[in-house]
Amino acid sequence: MTRHRATCHCGNVAIEFEADIQGALSCNCSICSKGGALLTFVPRDAVKLEAAPDAMTTYTFNKHVIQHKFCKTCGIKVFGEGADPKGNRMAAINIRCIDGLDLEKIPVQHFDGRAL
């Protein structure tokens, strides 16, 4: 497992987590496609938040099952929180925010989130 750090543009929101990132998901739902997020998923308990809770704001829409976390200052979505189909708490991390990650080496799978 590799230790990763992901940050928003201004640095007010940062997270650390361990994962072997084998791929990313590109979702075409309205928020992911407009924001350009590429997501990898890890258990929520594996994510350490390095920001004051008041540095972020939360946005939900549609079925309100995913909490999209944004920096209040720069507006970048570093991660979101939700549950997998079995009910396990998960974090969807925007790999575009991971420091030093070579995105060209990450295979991307497309997901039809608009159909949900």
pLDDT reading at 50 higher than 80: yes
What is the structure's pLDDT at 82?
Answer: 92
Task: Give domain limits for the chain.
Answer: 2-115
Q: What letters, b where the CB count within 10 A reaches 16 and e where it falls short, cover 41-65?
A: bbebeebebebeeebbeeeeeeeee
User: What class, spelled out in words, does domain 2-115 have in CATH?
Assistant: mainly beta
Q: Is the pLDDT of residue 116 over 80?
A: no
- Encoded tokens for 87: 């009910």
Q: For residues 46 and 58, what is the distance between their CA atoms, to the nearest angstrom?
A: 20
Closest by alpha carbon to 82, among 31, 10, 9?
Answer: 31
